[in-house]
Every structure is written in C-alpha cells, then in structure tokens.
A and B are shown apart, each in its own frame.
Chain A
Amino acid sequence: MFAIVDYDTGNTLNLKKALNYLNIENKLTADPDEILNADAVILPGVGAFEAAVDALKERNLIEVLKKAAQEKHPFLGICLGMQLLFEDSEEYGLNKGLDLIPGHVKAIPENGELKVPQMGWNENQVAADSPFKVANEEYTYFVHSYYASCAPKYVVADVDYGIKIPSIVQNENVVGMQFHPEKSGQVGLNLLNQFQEMVKTNDFSRN
C-alpha cells in the first residue's frame, strides 16, 4: 500500500485518482504507523512552503517522514512535496524543509519574457543513467514559482525555463517530481508506474 500523506493540501484527490487508475493500492493518511509501514510514502503538496511545513508540524509528521526516508522506505515528493524534501526554501522568508536531499528552494528569476509561475507543459531532459528515462524528451505539466537548486548528482531530469529547472530529483530512495505526474497524461502515468516498479523491486540505483 502506498501512503499518500494527508495534511490538508490541495489536489491530493487527483493524485489518488491517478493511482487508482493504475491499480496501485493507496490510502490517504496522517497516521504515523500507517506511513511507516507503507510500501511507499507519497508527499503531495500545492500552495506555500511555510503553510505546508506548519501543517506537517501540526500533525507531528516531520519526524515521521524523516524516519521513513532514513529507514530507506521509498519516498516520492510531488510539486511542493518535492520542494519540502530540501534543506530550506526562501519562499516568504527562510523556512526549513525535511532535509532529505541537500539543496535549497529558490524563486524562479523574473526576467523580461518569462512569466512566473511557470504554468504549462515543459520538455524533460533525463539523465541517461536514470530509471525515469521514459520521460526523456517528453512534456510534463508544471505549476510553480519556486525551484530546487541542488548539486547535479541529485538532478535526474531538468527543463529549460530561462534557467535549468530540476524536474526530477533523487537521493537514493528519495525521489521528487516538480511537475504533476497525475496531470501529465500518459507520460505522467508511466512515471508513476515506473516509481511503482522501483518500489516493487526495491531498486533505486542509477546505472
């Protein structure tokens, strides 16, 4: 069973619908035991970083999520849920994240042509050694104003939006997707299936 962390963030239901469609057993839960005993933990998220951290704190989930990741449970953060995997974010002041992947969340630089938020479909360039190759040169759907700035070794895929924006990040068992796989058509479904495959085989290696 996949645990979708339930902390009152928007659009969790659409993620649930995508998992249901793929016949991936899942449950929305904020229960620490259920989260720690799940086959995989999915941390969704829409909205502001600080509000999300506060909502996780209120439910005493920060340590639970860290423990799950440190005990090598498969872990997938989506959109804001991916940003929460990093050390901190500069959105509305500096706020600490879960610190599961070294790096910082920064504002997408505004320049003349580009609109912020990045809203729409952008094309992924996926590292050749990544298990997520199925998304290479494929478009996925983004809605975000902040991005993860981290060492190249954690970047599995990126998109061009004036700067290179990491679209998939990975630190061993901890994976993050900046886009919404549940809103990215067949490519998004393929990526969720790929994650499920990695969970089943417990193989998060790059080769």
Chain B
Amino acid sequence: MLAKRIIPCLDVADGRVKKGVNFVNLTDVGDPVEIAAEYQKQGADELVFLDISATNEKRKTMIDVVEQVSKQVFMPLTIGGGVTSVEDIQKLLKAGADKVAINSAAVNDPDLITEGAKKFGNQCIVVAIDVKYDPESKQYFVYTHGGQQKTDIEAISWAKEVVKKGAGELLVTGMDQDGTKDGFNISLYQQLGEAVKVPIIASGGAGKLSDFSDVFLQANVDGALAASVFHYGELTIDDVKSYLKQKGVVVR
C-alpha cells in the first residue's frame, strides 16, 4: 500500500532557512543541507522548500540551495515561491528539484501549468492553493501573493481547473487554520478529495498527533505538511508516524 506522506516545510530566504529550526544536534540552525539531512534521518517522506526571498536577484540563491541539498539528501524535493515561468521551473528541476510548486503565477497565467506539465510531465507540477472560507457565501476562495490578495476564484472549482490544465499534485493550505495548531480543515479536504483525482497535500493547522490522523482518516489526502511543530521539536516525525500506525494509517 502507498504510504501517507509526512512533509516538513522549510522557508528559505537568501539561501538560509528562516523561522528558526532548533533541533538540538544542529551545528548551524540556518543551513538547508544540514536541516534537510536531519529530516531525512527522522523519516520525512519529502521536503518542501519555500523561497520567501523578496527579490528576484536573491531568488537565484535558491538554485544553489537545491543543488547542495540534492547532493546529500536523497528524497523527493518540492520547491516553491516566486516561480513565474517555464524557465524558472526548468532551472529548479535541473538543480535537483523533483517537483515545482506554482501559486500566484498559476492564477495570473494558468497556461503556465499546461506548459510546464507538457514539457516536464504532470508529476513535477504542483499547484499550491491558499484558501480562506467566506462565511457569507459559505464558499472557499483562493488567495494569492502569500495569502495577501483575495481573488474571486472559488477554490474547489479552481482545484478541478488546475488539474485539467495538468497539475500533478495539489498543495492546499487552509489559511484560517494556518498557524493556529487547531487541526487541519477537514471539510475543505473532504470536498477536494471528492473533486479531484490527483494527490492532495494538506497544509495549515497541524498542532497535535490526532490532527494528522483526523485528516488522513476523514479525508482522501495523500500527505500532510507542517512547519513549526516539527521545526521546534514539539512533535517529531517519528512521533507522528508511530501514532498514525496505531490508528491504522499506512506510513513508511
């Protein structure tokens, strides 16, 4: 059986990991290679690196980061943040990324999804979607630019649309939950799981062990992404996997 994936997400700016990752045994808390190697050892199934550099000039250092990490860490790497063109995708794949996540650019230029999928295969095109609930219309809406700009795009139909355009995987962040540690937005992922047939990675809200089993047992998602609970050592990947096993979720 295919295992459910547990995915730590690392924010990178200027070639350094931001939002302090504080494992006890790290000698350099900002070094992407050392942190990635540590997560590999802990049993992470995949890593997501999000480039939060403010300028294009600084983004170039991300290529370096991917090159360095992929020389020493042998698991799937997804890179996102500021990807706007087929050339961006190509550079990241060439540097060693396995998948590239497109977010705002997919909204601004949906054909980028198709172009990327045709050129490199659907499997390496991840569309990242930031989603917020609108209580008035009782619908989810897509946000862009790191969640700062609201669009009038309804999220579930957008998910279907990007899959039609060639997305091989969806990384969907529930913004209402993000940072709350109150659990994933189960109803969002239930709707998505019924709407599309590509792998879905749930993101936003992971705080305790049962949050992971809830999302896997109640919605058809393939992976769960988290940042701070892992970075600050509140939970280890091993804790999460042991717990999931007990609950009957297949993990590696």
Interface residues, chain A, with chain B CB atoms under 8 Å away: 10-11, 13-14, 17-18, 20-21, 46-48, 115-123, 139, 141-143, 160-161, 182-186, 188-189
Contact = CB atoms under 8 A, between A and B. Distances in A.
B2 A122 contact: yes
B1 A139 contact: no
A183 B76 contact: yes
Contact of B198 (A115, A142, A188): A115
Nearest to B124: A10
Contact of A120 (B40, B45, B94, B121): B45
B94 A188 contact: no
Interface in B37-54: 40, 45
B222 A14 contact: no
Nearest to B250: A123
A118 B197 CA distance: 11
Contact of B197 (A21, A46, A115, A185): A115
A141 B199 contact: no
B169 interface: yes
Interface string B101-134: 0000000000000000000111110000000000
B93 interface: yes
Interface string B61-97: 0000000001110111000000000000000011010
A10 to B, nearest CB: 6
B76 A141 contact: yes
Contact of A17 (B70, B121, B169, B198): B70
A112 to B, nearest CB: 10
Contact of A182 (B74, B199, B252): B74
B36 to A, nearest CB: 12
A141 B74 CA distance: 10
B74 A188 contact: yes
A184 B121 CA distance: 20
Nearest to B220: A113
Given A120-B2, A123-B3, A11 B123 contact: no
B75 A183 contact: yes
Contacts of B223: 120
B174 interface: no
B74 A189 contact: yes
